[in-house]
Amino acid sequence: MPLIHRILRLLSLLTVCVYAADVNVVFNLDNSQVAPDGFTRAGVIVNGVFPGTLIQANKDDTLHIAVNDALTDPTMRRSVSIHWHGLFQMRTGSEDGPAFVNQCPIAPGHSYTYDIPLNGQAGTFWYHSHLSSQYVDGLRGALVIYDPVDPHLSLYDVDDASTVITLADWYHNPAPGMEEIFLQGNDEPIPDSGLINGIGRYVGGPQVIRAHVNVEQGKRYRFRVVNISAYAAFRFSIEGHDLTIIEVDGISHVPHTVGGFDIYVAQRYSVVLNANQPVANYWIRGPMTLQHSSDNKNLDTNNVFAVLHYTGASDAEPTTQASGNVNNLLQEYQLAALINPGAPGGNAPADRSIDLNFGMNVNNGRLEWEINDISYLPPDLPTLLNIIANGFTSEANFTRTEHTFVIDRNEVVELVIHGSPNGHIHPFHLHGHAFDVVQSMQGPANFINPPRRDVVGVGGSTVIIRFQADNPGPWFFHCHWHLEAGLAVVFAERPVDQISGPQSEIIKQSWLDLCSIYKALPPDQQ
Ligand SMILES: *[C@@H]1O[C@H](CO)[C@@H](O)[C@H](O)[C@H]1NC(C)=O
Ligand SMILES: *[C@@H]1O[C@H](CO)[C@@H](O)[C@H](O)[C@H]1NC(C)=O
């Protein structure tokens, strides 16, 4: 990087370091019409755009996100709650979003402001509705927290809004109707198209102009690739360019160069791309992989492209074959956390080891996914409210279907997640923590320098993760789409410390009010 750029960047960083800013964001939610793949439909839409507004902040800032719910369409959920995926939410479990774990939903016609101090956390995150399957209808977007002293700063020249790349699956029908069919015991609904940066095509639809990601020859770019998909996985690669992974789900990793990677629902990778190829247009490819054969004629799983456009090249699409073959595909187990590597507790037995076995049943015509024979059902009052207001501190206080484990102070917790019998891949997300993946889907066990992340794919084999109970709060652990069918548990981490003491929850009156307002709603507005 030229010296003058280095000096300018240093100066801008110094100002950033000094001021921990308040970042005010407004989310106006309505049922705007959108057409990301050329098919126009109403959605649950943030500020009139899909994906929703990009949130950007620095690591010591505090986010204040005012959510104004103006949803009116009866074919979709009208109440709302929003999860800020990957943020640790130290002392602010009330702002984490999952309906009936962390809050009551925000009622239509009402507003709520999420106040989230970032406490030095940086990386690539995303947000989405955490009420039922509402996020499928469009309430999803990227959230990037910059670190002025990022350990990988010397590896790239450009890292801004233009280098965020979102991958999404998209449906033409409202989610509640599709969910109902799924819960009657059918396969997961198949999307109509795959989108890169909110743009895609479906079979027989218009030739929507593909998203362009612009680069200048000679510069190095930090692309933040975010899978904001509901169900589909993508195999991401960029024609003619290697990708050096430096961040995984908000955690810096040892640089690792690959030809491409599979990215499951909710996962994120930061990759460095060196624009060192001849000035031209190159395919950015994200073919989707599905867990069962498609019954949706609109979907062409291979037709998920954007264009990497070098300044000076024509505006035309690349003319090369758009093959999705990837050499040197990432194997998750090859990733190593950069800072303070090593699983909590090393390879000694964990303080608390919990086996999780999946099962599936059809009960009275309803599909139920189970963990250890229990299908999760949301309680009437949020877990957090029951802890801080009603003194729920022991496992016996929660109902069986709340499937809540109480975790003690600073315990090393190991989750032994046994794969599903049919080998289908379920991406599991733990709230409130990043965890060490000591046994990934492939490769050997590793306690010394395993990958550290917040979403892990679990297929047919056993996956083992570890985290330390250093963040009191009610934290959900679930598979994305199958959450609706009960594939979830809750960790009530250190309930006594949530109630009082230096790590206790900061509770706002406006948060308490959410429940009385929501409970008074007629069912069709909930
Ligand atoms: C995003 O996640 C979905 C669901 O797991 C997956 O089908 C899709 O392939 C992922 N995208 C990428 C680029 O891997
Ligand atoms: C929670 O469970 C414990 C242990 O069974 C019991 O002593 C206590 O009364 C319960 N608390 C509430 C609020 O139900």
Evaluate whether 32 touches 43 at the Cβ level (below 8 Å): yes
> Closest residue (by CA) to atom 8 of ligand 2?
397
Higher per-residue pLDDT: 182 or 3? 182
What is the Å distance from ligand 1's center to 41 Cα? 23
What is the Å distance from ligand 2's center to 397 Cα? 6
- How far apart (Å, rounded) are the C-alpha atoms in residues 497 and 417? 27
> Closest residue (by CA) to atom 1 of ligand 2?
397
Q: Taken in order 430, 136, 163, 245, is the CA torsion positive or negative? A: positive
Please return the burial class of 500, using the count of CB atoms within 10 Å of its CB with bins 0-12, 13-18 and 19+. Answer: exposed
What is the Å distance from ligand 2's center to 393 Cα? 7
- How far apart (Å, rounded) are the C-alpha atoms in residues 233 and 330? 14
Share of the chain above pLDDT 70, in %: 95
Beta-ladder partners of 190: none
Q: Which backbone phi and psi does 497 adopt, to 5 degrees?
A: -75, -15
Residue 33, C-beta contacts closer than 8 angstroms, at least 6 positions apart = 40, 41, 42, 43
Higher per-residue pLDDT: 319 or 173? 173
Mean pLDDT of 281-292: 88
Indicate if the pLDDT at residue 350 is higher than 90.
yes
- How far apart (Å, rounded) are the C-alpha atoms in residues 384 and 102? 5
3-state helix/strand/coil string of 208-277? CCCCEEEECCCCEEEEEEEECCCCCEEEEEECCECEEEEEECCEEEEEEEECEEEECCCCEEEEEEECCC
What is the Å distance from ligand 2's center to 159 Cα? 51
Within 10 angstroms of residue 343's Cβ, the number of other Cβ atoms is: 27
Ligand 1 atom showing the smallest separation from residue 262 Cα: 14
pLDDT in tens, 190-228: 999 999 999 999 999 999 999 999 999 999 999 999 988
Nearest ligand to residue 391 Cα? 2
Evaluate whether 184 touches 365 at the Cβ level (below 8 Å): yes
pLDDT in tens, 451-475: 999 999 999 999 999 999 999 999 9
pLDDT of residue 420: 81
Per the listing, tokens 């409130």 go with: 432
- Confidence category of residue 1, pLDDT binned at 50, 70, 90: very low
Average pLDDT of the chain to the nearest whole number: 93
> Closest residue (by CA) to atom 6 of ligand 1?
233
All domains of the chain, ordered by start, with CATH? 3-151 (2.60.40.420), 162-334 (2.60.40.420), 352-519 (2.60.40.420)
What is the Å distance from ligand 2's center to 385 Cα? 15
* pTM over 0.85, yes/no: yes
Ligand 2 atom showing the smallest separation from residue 392 Cα: 13
- Confidence category of residue 366, pLDDT binned at 50, 70, 90: confident
Per the listing, tokens 């010397």 go with: 154
Mutate to test the pocket of ligand 1, among 223, 284, 288 (most ligand atoms within 8 A of CB): 288
- Confidence category of residue 189, pLDDT binned at 50, 70, 90: confident
What is the Å distance from ligand 1's center to 67 Cα? 28
What is the Å distance from ligand 1's center to 261 Cα? 10
User: Cα separations (Å) of 483 from 9, 398, 491?
Assistant: 43, 19, 15
pLDDT in tens, 35-73: 999 999 999 999 999 999 999 999 999 999 999 999 999
What is the Å distance from ligand 1's center to 224 Cα? 15
Pocket of ligand 1 (CB under 6 A): 167, 227, 229, 231-236, 262-265, 286, 288-289, 427
Ligand 2 atom showing the smallest separation from residue 391 Cα: 13
Higher per-residue pLDDT: 345 or 325? 345
- How far apart (Å, rounded) are the C-alpha atoms in residues 455 and 350? 20
Helix (H) or strand (E) holding 439: strand 435-439
Three-point CA angle 22, 27, 29, nearest 5°: 165
pLDDT of residue 441: 94
> Closest residue (by CA) to atom 9 of ligand 2?
397
- DSSP string for residues in 36-88: TTS--EE--EETTBSSPPPEEEETT-EEEEEEEE----TTS--SB-EEEET--
Nearest ligand to residue 481 Cα? 1
- How far apart (Å, rounded) are the C-alpha atoms in residues 73 and 482? 24
Nearest ligand to residue 397 Cα? 2
Helix (H) or strand (E) holding 12: helix 3-18
pLDDT of residue 3: 54
Pocket of ligand 2 (CB under 6 A): 390-392, 394, 396-397
What is the Å distance from ligand 2's center to 127 Cα? 35
Ligand 1 atom showing the smallest separation from residue 427 Cα: 5
Nearest ligand to residue 386 Cα? 2
- Confidence category of residue 11, pLDDT binned at 50, 70, 90: low
Evaluate whether 167 touches 187 at the Cβ level (below 8 Å): no
